[in-house]
Amino acid sequence: MNSIWWNRFLDKAFRVVGIASTLIGLVLLAFFIGSILEEGLHRINLDFLTNLPSRKPEKAGILTAWAGTLWVLALTALISIPLGVSAGIYLEEYARKGPLGKLLEVNITNLAGVPSVIYGILGLEMFARTFRLGGSLLTGALTLSLLILPIIIVATREAIKAVPNSIREASYGMGATRWQTMRHTVLPAAGGGIATGIILALSRAVGEAAPLIVVGALAYVPFTPKTPMDDFTVLPIQIFNWTSRPDPGFVINAAAGIIILLAITFLLNGIAVWLRYRWQKKVNW
C-alpha cells in the first residue's frame, strides 16, 4: 500500500472523527436545551418569578430561590475577587520562583479539581460551626469563594503571564516601580483575561447545590434574605427538590427553574465574552 494514499486517508479520517466529536457535543446540548425549553418554557411567567414555594406546583414560584442565588453570587464575588486576584498577582509577579513557589502552584491547581462537596464539609466545620455563622448566606458565600478561588488565581496568573515581558521592561526602563508597572501596564493589559476567568468561576458557583446543602442551605424558605446572616435557598437546590417529587407538575417547574438558571449562566458567560472583546480592542501595543 502506498504511503501517500495512506497518509491522505488518515488525514480525511481524522477530519471525519473530529467533526463527529464536535457534533456529538453540540447535538446533545441542542437536544437538552430543546427538551428543557419544550417542557418548561410555557411555565415561566411573572407569577413563577414572584411566588413563594408551595405544595401546589401551579402556585409554586422561585422568588426566594433566585433571590438567594443572586445574593450568594454577589457575596461570593465580593469575597473571592479581591482575594483571588491579589493572590494571583502576588504569585506571578512578586513571589520568588523557587521550589516553594512550585509546590504552591501545583497545590493550587490541584485544589481547582477537588469535588465541591468536600468544600461544603470544610465550610460546615469552619464557617458554620467554628465561626458560628450557621447556615447563613455568608457561610454559603465563603464556602463557594473557597471553591472558586483556585480558578480565579490560576486565571489571573495565566492572564498576567500572557502580557509580553517587553512591556514590563519598557515600563521599568521609564523608571516605574513594580507597583506602578503592575497598576498602569500589566493589569490593564491582563484585565480582559482576569475578568473572563472571574466570570467563568462565578458561573460555576451559580450551579452548585451540593456544598450549599452541606453547609445548611434550606429547601423551604418563605422569605427573601435581607442581610448576609439570613437563611437562604438557591435555584439548584429548588430544582433538585422539585425533581424528586411525585407530582408531574413539579417536573415542569423544575424545567422552568433550569431555564432561569441557564439564562443566568448564559448571561454571565455573555458578559465574559463581551469583556474579552472590549479589552482586546482597547489594548494596542
Partner 1 sequence: MNAIIKSMIFLLVGGFFFAACGGDASSRGGNGDNALSGKIEIDGSSTVYPISEAIAEEFREVAPDVHVTIGVSGTGGGFRKFSRGETLISDASRPIKDEEAKACQENGIGYVELEVAYDGLAVVANPENDWCDYLTVEELKKIWEPEAQDAVKNWNQVRDGFPDAPLNLFGPGTASGTFDYFTEAIVGESGRSRGDYMPSEDDHVLVQGVAGDKNALGFFGLAYFEENADKLKLIAVDGGEGPVKPSLETVMNGSYQPLSRPLFIYVSSEGARRPEVVKFVEFYLNNAAKIAEDVGYVPAPQSEYDEQLKKFKDFVARFRNQ
* Shortest distance in whole angstroms from residue 152 CB to partner 1: 22
Question: Quick one: 156 or 241, whose CB is closer to partner 1?
Answer: 241
* Shortest distance in whole angstroms from residue 77 CB to partner 1: 12
Nearest-CA neighbor of 199 among 276, 262, 93, 141? Answer: 276
Question: Quick one: 188 or 249, whose CB is closer to partner 1?
Answer: 249
* Shortest distance in whole angstroms from residue 143 CB to partner 1: 16
Question: Quick one: 125 or 169, whose CB is closer to partner 1?
Answer: 125
* Shortest distance in whole angstroms from residue 277 CB to partner 1: 21
The one-letter code for the residue type at 243 is T
Angle at 207 between CA 204 and CA 208, to 5 degrees: 90
Question: Quick one: 160 or 256, whose CB is closer to partner 1?
Answer: 256
Question: 105-110, long-range: CB within 8 Å, 24+ apart, which pairs?
Answer: 108/150, 108/153, 108/154, 109/150, 109/154
User: Considering Cα of 128, then 129, then 130, then 132, what sign does the dihedral take?
Assistant: positive
* Shortest distance in whole angstroms from residue 74 CB to partner 1: 7
Which residue in this structure is represented by grid cell 479581591? Answer: 82
Separation of alpha carbons 258 and 241, rounded Å: 12
Question: Quick one: 77 or 151, whose CB is closer to partner 1?
Answer: 77
* Phi–psi pair at 231, nearest 5 degrees: -70, 155
- Which stretches of the chain bind partner 1, using CB under 8 A? 41, 44-46, 48-55, 63, 66-67, 70-71, 74, 134-135, 213, 216-226, 231, 241, 243-248, 251, 260, 263, 267
